[in-house]
Amino acid sequence: MTQTTTPARPKRAAKPNGQWKVDGKAPLNPSEEMKAADNGLNVRQRIEEIYSVQGFDSIDPEDLHGRFRWWGLYTQRAQGIPGGKTATLSPEELEDRYFMMRVRIDGGALSTEQLRVIGQISKDFARDTADLTDRQNVQLHWVDIIDVPEIWRRLESVGLHTTEACGDVPRVILGSPVAGIAKDEIIDPTPVIAEISRRYIGNPEFSNLPRKYKTAITGHPSQDVVHEINDFALIAAQHPELGPGYDLWVGGGPSANPRLGERLGAFVTEEQAPDVWEAVTSIFRDYGYRRLRNRARLKFLLADWGTEKFRQVLQDEYLGYALPDCDLPPQPTEAGDHSGVHEQKDGRFYIGLTVPAGRVSGSKLLALADLVEAKGSTRLRTTPHQKILALDIAHDQIKDFVGEARSLGLEAYPGLLKRSAIACTGIEFCKLAIVDTKDTMIDAVAKIEERLADHDGKLPRALSLHVNGCPNSCARIQTADLGFKGQLITNEAGEQVSGFQVHLGGTLAGRENGEAAMGRTVRGLKVAADDLPDYVERVVKNYSASASEGESFAA
Ligand code: SF4
């Protein structure tokens, strides 16, 4: 009997990933088409010459929902649109005719003059709104397109800008908030941050990347820039022959498919650092995946290549030389949030102030600028923890400064929960949000602190509490002890209400005396927004009853 065999189906060719160096530059999705049609940086001219003159209705939709981001502008959510009911709404129904504007502050370095300009812009053009973000930016809301050129003029007159504050570009460069001043600093990252910013920000060579690209650089032993969740990061390291320099990390990102960055095991000197940034960013531009936006961050390329291949391509194809190996820098022994009063290397002091949920106002920023100047300083720094530092305070001014800052709602000695609580923009202004975040968190922390007034001091250490308004991770919930991801949940009465999926046990370097780790989702562990204070109170009490000093929350 003759056996018949079914012919094998021809293998379907793998779909291209949209890597420019492998697959060519033909755009494979609408975002790539938009970027290929016109560089996002070019929209500035149209904003200045057309849109700000003719008003909101004159704006080309492709600019409005795409290229405006290259200049730090997003339309904000229309007021009163409930969370979770947005899928059927048109952009016109969902969004306001006003903008969120992100002011970029590389390294978080601000003068009182700059702070005053931001504060006055907020009062004149943004209904007195201002939020400190967890990426050292300041965000304004309610900005009208007709005012944008004047806002840019004022910002740029003091060396600030909104260039590439959003979009598929190199975003703000996180820098150690104590760069150049901390007594225990290993290397001052200020020159590297300034040089990367000068060479590459607003440079068309790097203004069409597959997705956003986040950079973090620190020379402080507390590793204070959440480097594990950035695409490119340099943290202080010592080389036995070359002296202080940097340990290179790539490929971190907390949103979809959260992933901690990885060390390439390479040592980078201060002189090499801008070139190495250019090389890694060029790899992302040339080899990054551009077909699917949810697989476009550098972490997906790193996952496929591995660190060995990544380092080899970096050295052979882009740098043209080998980087020396780098030993693992010591784990930090202190939190990198810089809360409280600390002596600087010059004998003066810096004071880290906690701002609940990063929410300030233009008026508050103006008052803070006055206060800092009244105490003889002109320098401040924003931090990746939604805090703000005043630098250069003389010893005999500390007490007054701390007291007067407190009267502005800025705490040098916050409770252990308030200290490490951060929240994203949420439903108030964000079009993607499902639930409220900032007010919910401020309210919950206030309630919990009141209930635990005599308990807070018994906490073995500060617990971090991060709140996101949707499944994205702008408040990096996976890195918190207690992370809350906004969603609608069904309550006992069968009603859909605002709530959160709980993530437990995330940590970054410096908070656990151990390895960084992403928090775990606990299946079915959800909490209604109204029940947040009760839930956190229970967790805090259980934790403080059972944990010893410094013990991991995840343990
Ligand atoms: Fe908006 Fe979601 Fe980001 Fe919060 S996490 S700012 S709700 S996109």
Is the separation of the CB atoms in 122 and 52 below 8 Å?
no
Count of all residues that appear for the chain in the document:
555
42: left (phi > 0), else alpha (psi -120 to 50), else beta? Answer: alpha
Looking at the predicted structure, is the pLDDT value of residue 403 above 80? yes
Atom number in ligand 1 closest to CA 426? 7
The mean of the pLDDT values for the chain is 92
Single out the residue of 470, 362, 331, 352 nearest to residue 420, CA to CA. Answer: 352
505 lines ligand 1 (CB under 6 A): no
- Partnered with residue 350 across adjacent β-strands are 342
pLDDT tens-digit series, residues 428-447 = 999 999 999 999 999 999 88
Best residue for ligand 1 mutational test, from 468, 498, 501 (most atoms within 8 Å of Cβ): 468
Residue 14 confidence (pLDDT): 80
pLDDT tens-digit series, residues 261-311 = 999 999 999 999 999 999 999 999 999 999 999 999 999 999 999 999 999
440 lines ligand 1 (CB under 6 A): no
Atom number in ligand 1 closest to CA 430? 1
Which of the four pLDDT bands, split at 50, 70 and 90, describes residue 511? Answer: very low
Looking at the predicted structure, is the pLDDT value of residue 7 above 80? no
Looking at the predicted structure, is the pLDDT value of residue 548 above 80? no
Residue 450 confidence (pLDDT): 84
Is the separation of the CB atoms in 381 and 177 below 8 Å?
yes
> Distance (Å, rounded) from C-alpha 244 to C-alpha 189?
11
The residue that leads in pLDDT, 260 or 93, is 260
Two tokens at 210?
A: 């597959």
Q: What angle do CA 418, 419, 425 make, to 5 degrees?
A: 70
Which of the four pLDDT bands, split at 50, 70 and 90, describes residue 551? Answer: low
Atom number in ligand 1 closest to CA 486? 7
172 phi and psi angles, rounded to 5 deg:
-45, 140
What is the edge-to-edge ordering of all strands in the sheet holding 421-423? Answer: 421-423, 465-468, 482-490, 496-504, 520-528
Looking at the predicted structure, is the pLDDT value of residue 258 above 90? no
Residue 15 confidence (pLDDT): 86
Name the amino acid, one letter, at 216.
A
393 lines ligand 1 (CB under 6 A): no
Residue 460 confidence (pLDDT): 63
For ligand 1, the distance from its centroid to the CA atom of residue 452, given in whole angstroms, is: 29
Residue 92 confidence (pLDDT): 79
For ligand 1, the distance from its centroid to the CA atom of residue 323, given in whole angstroms, is: 38
424 lines ligand 1 (CB under 6 A): yes
110 lines ligand 1 (CB under 6 A): no
Best residue for ligand 1 mutational test, from 75, 95, 428, 474 (most atoms within 8 Å of Cβ): 474
pLDDT tens-digit series, residues 190-240 = 999 999 999 999 999 999 999 999 999 999 999 999 999 999 999 999 999
Percent of the chain with pLDDT over 90: 77
Distances (CA, A) of 524 to 184, 220, 408, 500, 541: 44, 39, 40, 11, 22
Atom number in ligand 1 closest to CA 434? 7
490: left (phi > 0), else alpha (psi -120 to 50), else beta? Answer: beta
Which of the four pLDDT bands, split at 50, 70 and 90, describes residue 150? Answer: very high
> Distance (Å, rounded) from C-alpha 177 to C-alpha 142?
28
Best residue for ligand 1 mutational test, from 141, 171, 229, 425 (most atoms within 8 Å of Cβ): 425
Within 13 Å and on the Cβ side, how many CA atoms surround 468? Answer: 23
Looking at the predicted structure, is the pLDDT value of residue 382 above 80? yes
> Distance (Å, rounded) from C-alpha 453 to C-alpha 442?
16
Two tokens at 157?
A: 């007159």
pLDDT tens-digit series, residues 181-200 = 999 999 999 999 999 999 99
Which of the four pLDDT bands, split at 50, 70 and 90, describes residue 1? Answer: very low
Q: What spatial distance separates the first Cα and last Cα of the chain, rounded to whole Å? A: 66
Q: Are strands 482-490 and 465-468 parallel, antiparallel or unpaired?
A: parallel
469 lines ligand 1 (CB under 6 A): yes
Single out the residue of 411, 466, 463, 419 nearest to residue 441, CA to CA. Answer: 466
Residue 554 confidence (pLDDT): 53
Question: Using CA positions, which residue lies closest to atom 3 of ligand 1?
Answer: 474
- DSSP letter (8 states) at residue 319: I
423 lines ligand 1 (CB under 6 A): no
Looking at the predicted structure, is the pLDDT value of residue 325 above 80? yes
Which of the four pLDDT bands, split at 50, 70 and 90, describes residue 318? Answer: very high
For ligand 1, the distance from its centroid to the CA atom of residue 474, given in whole angstroms, is: 6
List CB contacts of 308: < 8 A, sequence separation 6 or more: none
Residue 91 confidence (pLDDT): 78
Looking at the predicted structure, is the pLDDT value of residue 105 above 60? yes
> Distance (Å, rounded) from C-alpha 149 to C-alpha 142?
15
Two tokens at 181?
A: 């001043």
For ligand 1, the distance from its centroid to the CA atom of residue 467, given in whole angstroms, is: 9
- Partnered with residue 387 across adjacent β-strands are 354
Among 8-22, 365-379, 380-394, the range scoring the smallest mean pLDDT is 8-22
Give 139: exposed, middle or buried? Use CB within 10 Å, 0-12, 13-18, 19+. buried
Residue 254 confidence (pLDDT): 86
- Could you write out the DSSP letters of every residue in 126-191? STTEEEE-TTS-EEEEEE-GGGHHHHHHHHHHTT-B-TTSSSSSEEEEEE-TTTTTBTT-SS--HH
